[in-house]
Amino acid sequence: MSQPDTYASAFASLIGAQHAFPFWKGRVALYAILRALGVGEGDEVIVPGYTCVMNVNPIYYVGARPIYVDIRSHDYNMDPRAVRDAISPRTRAVIAQHTYGFPVDFAAINAATSQHDIPIIEDCCLALGSTYHGKKVGTLGRAAYFSSQWNKPYTTGLGGIAVTSDNTLAGKLSNLVRSELLPPPPQAVAALRMQHLIYRAVIYPRTTALAASLFRRLTDLGLVVGSSDNEEYAPMAPEGFFRGMSEFQMRVGLRRIRTIHAAMQHRRRIAQIYDARLTRAGWPPLAFDPGADPVLVRYPVRVSDKQRALTKAATRGVEIGSWFESPLHPARTSLEAYGYKQGQCPVAERACGQVINLPLHPRVSERTAERTAHFVAEIGPPQF
Ligand SMILES: *Cc1c(COP(=O)(O)O)cnc(C)c1O
């Protein structure tokens, strides 16, 4: 079997789906799914107003329009009632994002969409291994996509993969891949190899804030393959967007799949440390649906002063994440250009101003977790 087949089938069996199609990035996988579902000109796609702008671009690329719905404050996932209210005769898909790894309230969303026969696409870019009533995320909707960019549950540098168990849809995806998919850009793959080496060698938690800002500056200068090229901020498909995954990324991916269960256990253990320390310091425990068993990508926590937390963390060398900073992350996104009206998703906007996220990746030791929780406790919870 060729590398693409091996990686795709290894990933499909990890998730428990019938078919998998690797791509250059997660957003490319979403684009492929939208195309395969026939979403196009004049159609509407429902998305949470608490996501990456990169996740919204593919909706415009196919000629459709995003309709934003608010989230629930306890698990940061789309509110099923808001989904029901947002459905119109033009709705052609719902993108159900499992935020931070918490599974969406799938049954309720499905109840809202199924009578209209609207397919649900799961955004699993932040959720790998989470289950919902015993079923793995990625197998709940018509199709799902994952990202293996640096900050995601597992990494191949950059990367994405679409999965489905719907044979008709898989046939369409397969046709698209055969007829239109471009090879990955060779220079970018070479740079990715280099980055991979550098990352392994020098990135430790204490230096991540510094490394991340350096990385962003170099990316802006066009010196590294960041996850987002500047032109992608425009809501139109850049030339050469629809690209496949390199053999290099797939080899890394195959290696990661072999150790993924240990990595998930580690995520759970570190999350328990944060839970224990933060509840003792006055936070409510993490709340999620009774049928949900999340494996979190990062541990979200609301703080009394987000800006102070981020600034202090950077000077103290504590690794803290800030997404989502805006209903369409990152903060520099022009919301109007993306059809989002300020105030449209108040629960999400409030979360953007309060939530930071703590690392759970393999480089976080129990000691680092204790230290990080201690740092957050010093900042303190908001008034709940
Ligand atoms: C990162 C991310 C994406 C996009 O993944 P890429 O591989 O960067 O294209 C989509 N949705 C969510 C929720 C993400 O966090």
Q: Is the CB of 155 under 6 A from ligand 1?
A: no
54 Cα–ligand 1 center, Å:
7
d(CA 207, CA 46): 38
Pairing assessment for the beta strands 143-147 and 328-329 based on DSSP bridges: unpaired
Q: What are φ and ψ of residue 161, in 5° steps?
A: -155, 140
Q: Helices in the chain by DSSP H: which ranges?
A: 3-15, 26-36, 57-61, 80-86, 106-114, 167-180, 186-202, 208-220, 247-258, 260-280, 306-316, 346-354, 366-379
Mind listing the pLDDT tens digit for each residue in 68-120? 999 999 999 999 999 999 999 999 999 999 999 999 999 999 999 999 999 99
Looking from the CA of 348 toward its CB, the CA atoms found within 13 Å total 28
Q: Is the CB of 29 under 6 A from ligand 1?
A: no
Which tokens hold the place of 174?
């397969």
Non-local CB neighbours of 82 within 8 Å, separated by 6+ positions: 69, 70
Residue 239 has a pLDDT of 87
Residue 230 has a pLDDT of 46
Q: Is the CB of 113 under 6 A from ligand 1?
A: no
- List, as one string, the DSSP characters of 224-253: S--SS-GGGGSSSPPTT-SB---HHHHHHH
> CB of 164 within 8 A of CB of 18?
yes
Residue to probe by mutation, ligand 1, list 54, 56, 95, 161, most atoms within 8 Å of CB? 54
Residue 206 has a pLDDT of 47
Q: Is the CB of 97 under 6 A from ligand 1?
A: yes
> CB of 123 within 8 A of CB of 152?
no
Q: Would you write out the chain's pLDDT as a tens digit for each of its 384 residues?
A: 566 689 999 999 999 999 999 999 999 999 999 999 999 999 999 999 999 999 999 999 999 999 999 999 999 999 999 999 999 999 999 999 999 999 999 999 999 999 999 999 999 999 999 999 999 999 999 999 999 998 898 889 899 999 999 999 999 999 999 999 999 988 889 888 888 777 665 554 444 555 556 555 555 555 445 555 544 445 677 889 999 999 999 999 999 999 999 999 999 999 999 999 999 999 999 999 999 999 999 999 999 999 999 999 989 999 999 999 999 998 888 899 999 999 999 999 999 999 999 999 998 999 999 999 999 999 999 987
Residue to probe by mutation, ligand 1, list 31, 95, 124, 125, most atoms within 8 Å of CB? 125
Nearest alpha carbon to residue 166 among 147, 140, 148, 200: 140
Query: Which atom of ligand 1 lies nearest, measured to the CA of 158?
Result: 7
d(CA 37, CA 257): 28
149 Cα–ligand 1 center, Å:
8
Q: Is the CB of 147 under 6 A from ligand 1?
A: yes
Residue 231 has a pLDDT of 41
Residue 232 has a pLDDT of 45
Residue to probe by mutation, ligand 1, list 27, 95, 97, 329, most atoms within 8 Å of CB? 27
